[in-house]
Amino acid sequence: MESTLKKGGGETELMHPGHVACPGCGAAIAMKLALKALGPQTMVVIPACCWGIIAGAYPQSSLGVPLLQMAFAAAGAAASGLRAALDARGEDETFVMAWAGDGGTFDIGLQSLSGAVERNEDFIYVCYDNEAYMNTGVQRSSATPYGTRTTTTPGEQWKRSGKKNIIEIMAAHRIPYAATASIAYPHDLIRKFKKAARLKGGSRFIHLYAPCPTGWGIPSEVSVRVARLAVQTNSFPLYEVENGLHYTLNFKGDAPVGDYLGPQGRFKHLSSQDMDAIQKRVDEDWEVLLKRIGSVKLLKQPAEMRS
Ligand SMILES: Cc1ncc(C[n+]2csc(CCOP(=O)(O)OP(=O)(O)O)c2C)c(N)n1
Ligand SMILES: [Mg+2]
């Protein structure tokens, strides 16, 4: 395979129609964009998650690149092994991309991910975050935010603890690159994947925000809009961290969190006091982040993406 990066590639469509994602699935949009950025010389490792299903059943696949299905806890270890095998064959131009859900990253896969990035394995690890265990029926994960109703935090038992900060955990390992990205800002997302590709040689981690209309109680056609509101309300800030030290902010939001929470079924039960408590948490986290920011490089948004 030739390197598409060298040829300035990235225009190839590597995710095909006929996949089995739900309508409006953020994770499907995410993969389409990620592979546009990385090109065909990529191998994907997928642990148990919705994407294991979306790719399709062997010998069929919705992806135009090789794919290794892996056990739920093992994406970091499997991606390390695949990298070693490719290097042994002299295929050092092939990207290894681990592609895992929030459950497979924040929870059960955290040990193998931490071990791999501590070794600074040469791969791109992507956590597409739909904020719950969606494939098995919307159970809460440690990426599920405060205030959410899931099937394991139902009724009045909605989730009272907050979302784990996975970028800080990755930054604490001092890896070359850790960044957040969103399907609502595709140019920024593709730029970050291309940057991750250029930083070949160590561990790169992308925390990718991917709404799940089925689990979040939103119509499929507002999936991207809701993702945009997450950024515009600072609920999901867009930023990059290089070598665990150098923080760059890509977006400054100023909308109230109610704009983002209001349209979603998973937050319908919240009172105005609960909303205030969430606004306070978001503001606190935003202040902490701003203190770490060394440079600000705001993304350029086409006019149609400003609202
Ligand atoms: C050890 C183990 N426990 C449980 C499961 C069942 N299981 C398969 S996918 C999944 C949920 C994955 O959640 P997440 O990683 O967030 O991905 P999503 O389904 O949301 O895309 C679970 C619990 C499994 N495959 N292996
Ligand atoms: Mg999930």
Nearest-angstrom CA–CA distance, 143 and 247: 22
**Please, are residues 99 and 128 in contact by the beta-carbon 8 Å criterion?**
yes
Tokens (6 digits) for 62: 């919705």
Over residues 146-185, the pLDDT tens digits come to: 999 999 999 999 999 999 999 999 999 999 999 999 999 9
Ligand 2 center from residue 132 Cα (angstroms): 4
Pocket lining for ligand 1, CB < 6 angstroms: 48-50, 72, 101-104, 130, 133-136, 141
Nearest-angstrom CA–CA distance, 177 and 204: 5
**Please, are residues 267 and 148 in contact by the beta-carbon 8 Å criterion?**
yes
SS3 at position 202: coil
Instruction: Identify the nearest ligand to the CA of 209 by its number.
Output: 2
Over residues 84-113, the pLDDT tens digits come to: 999 999 999 999 999 999 999 999 999 999
**Please, are residues 43 and 78 in contact by the beta-carbon 8 Å criterion?**
no
Q: What is the pTM of this model?
A: 0.95
Distance, first Cα to last Cα, the chain: 41
Any idea of the CA torsion for 34, 197, 51, 210, to the nearest 10 degrees? -50
